[in-house]
Amino acid sequence: MAVAGNGEPAGGSLFTRILASGLPDDETHVVWRGVRNFAILNAFPYTCGHVLVMPYREVGELEDLTPDESAELWAAVRDAVVAIKAAYAPHGVNVGLNLGEAAGAGIPSHMHIHVLPRWNADSNFMTAVAEVRVLPEALGDTWRKLRAAWPAPGGE
């Protein structure tokens, strides 16, 4: 596989390649599509309901977003929180953004915001020690729950 200068495969980021695949959303686990941004399930989630919200355009830095991309992105993050709360009734929600490889970005050329439910005492040694995740739900089930709970455009 050819590799671009940033260490990622040629042809764009993983997210860009997923979008270009032409596969249906239920196969790619795209939960929501907007005009400039979309939300997709994390393929390796820390917990059920772990969503990534990002622009369609492959951009690595927050300050490189256009005003329209930024406005829709943050509205989508809000909607992801609403959907997660409706679908999972968590005790809390983490919203996080890692900009750059040194900050922990797994795909530094395509910024994405993590939105995931959290429960009191939900952390365990598996992820920290063994890099293993235990999930009680298949990604397809998570996709259906979040897609159904995602707020309608212009809705609450």
pTM of the full predicted structure? 0.85
Contact 13, 111 (CB under 8 A): no
Superfamily of domain 14-149, CATH level 4: HIT-like (3.30.428.10)
pLDDT tens digits for range 98-135: 999 999 888 999 999 999 999 997 765 455 555 555 56
Identify the active-site residue in 29, 110, 112, 114: 112
Report the chain's C-alpha Rg in angstroms. 15
Give the DSSP letter of residue 151: P
Q: Which residues pair with 22 in a beta bridge?
A: none
Domain boundaries, the chain: 14-149
pLDDT tens digits for range 33-80: 999 999 999 998 888 999 999 999 999 999 999 999 999 999 999 999
Structure tokens at 37: 């941004």
2's CB contacts (< 8 A; 6+ apart) are: 9, 10, 11
112 is a catalytic site residue: yes
Count Cβ atoms below 10 Å from residue 69 Cβ, excluding itself: 19
Q: Which residues pair with 92 in a beta bridge?
A: 118
